[in-house]
Structure 1
């Protein structure tokens, strides 16, 4: 299986070099960085990795926009699959083969930080965990999934499913559109355990999304809109 491994980045000068070096050690195929309009030294540092393909957005568009560019690059490049992970040090590149492995039997593989405890000393910020639990409940009750982690960015996709996604949310709510559309197309989903790592609890979502209540309400709005657009018959007990 010919794989592309992609990371969306925005102003990641502190983490980029060590994370990208590790990805290059463990990625079984080509590596892509989607630079979402960085204004720090990220573009300069990327020039030190000549084997890495770079797509640059001229302005900062958002996390979802970065992943959408990765989807498009996977399809246009004729790859069989895509692995995505973040550049903030919260995902271990050594796990790339384990996340990609189930693509032989699943359309979408999603990392879960709550299937297995790797390090008992690690704990997510309380508000983030509460929101994740609530959104995961929506996905399970409304879509019939049995997920444990709604927002892990460590994922793998079969390339053939990527053109089916219609991603309009360019921000952090984009995964909700992915989950709803995965359900509407009957895609097979597998979760695999990945370590829970929180290195910097002060990292921000940006603007009003830094407020937990606002963020949850925004996620609910995007989720409900995705449900309406999908026109799928939601599972009983849906309270999203």
Structure 2
């Protein structure tokens, strides 16, 4: 392969290759030599290695090296490397692991994809074939686990979210705040980039798992726990802020009329799916789970694969001005269902509401009101959606 054009492309696009390394003396030299075939823009972060890594790095001239006195974690190494790359004037950084699992010969694939992309705010992740022979079962499971949560948090489906062979847009990373220090950083960074509307996508790469020379520093229990804690926090942020923000942004961008026509009536979802989304939204909005309505409706809409926009919109049936009337109606219904003789007026609600006395009535009445309203509005909306869809088909065919 003629590597001169690739070297020129790398120079033109202002790309460097960042290699974080920790005790990978058996594979480090091979990785560096492979990368040098494509570019001399190389930064290596020695994350406190205790083997012969420093001696290996001292044998190279013309490449940037950063040495930590003690191991600080892959996240710290990458963040330090990104900061150094920016100080050197680079716009993009390709990261490649030093354990030998990645092939430097895949670097051109990253460069070609970047070059042909109109939007340069792009983050590329090398997608490994996790089904091939030799891939550890724990790696395949961990990747599927990570893929699911990334999709939940961003709405983007990827084949591989854990590969360390990536291309990062450095100008975007400069504007983000990161808090993790170990392997979980590679999850935090792609989620936060996606939230900033950066294009996050996979490109196919080769992978080699040679257990005779590969040294993995992933600690299953500790690192999996750290990743789980991070995902719990990211899911929380997704439900209470980023998903609602996305819906409101769409509403603001399109305007109420266009938003309603395109995201509601113009949705490609079936009338049944849209009606179920309405029913879910109404049920959650009238339910007694105050403070958790947004998180619940979005979580359940994603879980049941319903229309998130419709479900969220109808969950706002309990707007602040209507809350007193909803609570009052719920207590009255609960009182009737329980067959109690207690009389309850709007005056009780505003001046004499006793939590212990009325809580049971309220919860039962609230769930009943939510169920009845959800069924009624679900059926009505189904008829509306069905009629609208039928008219659209008639107009299209006519």
TM-score normalised to the size of structure 1? 0.87
Trace 1:110-129 onto structure 2 (pairs within 5 A).
110-114=125-129, 120=132, 122-129=133-140
3-state DSSP class of the match of 1:237? helix
Q: Name 1:11's counterpart in structure 2.
A: 23
Q: Name 2:36's counterpart in structure 1.
A: 24
Trace 1:134-213 onto structure 2 (pairs within 5 A).
134-200=145-211, 203-205=215-217, 209-211=219-221
Trace 1:50-61 onto structure 2 (pairs within 5 A).
50-61=61-72
Could you tell me how far 1:227 is from its partner in structure 2? 4.4
Is 2:95–2:167's contact at 8 Å kept on the other side of the alignment?
Answer: yes
Match of 1:233 among 229, 240, 243: 243
Cα deviation, 1:97-139, whole Å, max 9, x if unaligned, reads 2123222425111100039x8xx5x331111211110110111
Point out the structure with max Rg over C-alpha: 2
Q: Taking structure 1 as reference, are residues 39 and 216 closer, same or farther at Cα in structure 2, changes over 3 Å only?
A: closer
Distance 2:112 2:176 in 1: 22
Is 1:204–1:210's contact at 8 Å kept on the other side of the alignment?
Answer: no
Q: Name 2:256's counterpart in structure 1.
A: none
- Greater helix proportion: 2
RMSD (CA atoms)? 2.3
Q: Name 1:221's counterpart in structure 2.
A: 229
Q: Taking structure 1 as reference, are residues 238 and 75 closer, same or farther at Cα in structure 2, changes over 3 Å only?
A: farther
Is 1:83–1:157's contact at 8 Å kept on the other side of the alignment?
Answer: yes
User: How many residue pairs are counted as aligned between the two chains?
Assistant: 230
3-state DSSP class of the match of 2:44? strand
Is 1:138–1:238's contact at 8 Å kept on the other side of the alignment?
Answer: no
3-state DSSP class of the match of 1:132? helix
Is 2:153–2:234's contact at 8 Å kept on the other side of the alignment?
Answer: no
Distance 2:68 2:234 in 1: 25
Distance 2:42 2:104 in 1: 12
Distance 1:197 1:215 in 2: 22
Q: Name 1:86's counterpart in structure 2.
A: 97
The more displaced of 80-89 and 162-171 is: 162-171
TM-score normalised to the size of structure 2? 0.54
Could you tell me how far 1:165 is from its partner in structure 2? 3.0
Distance 2:27 2:243 in 1: 43
Q: Which runs of 4+ in 1 moved over 6 A?
A: none
Instruction: Structure 1 unaligned segments of length 5 or more: list them.
Output: none
The more displaced of 85-94 and 102-111 is: 102-111
Distance 2:107 2:216 in 1: 26
Instruction: Structure 2 unaligned segments of length 5 or more: list them.
Output: 1-12, 245-297, 305-398
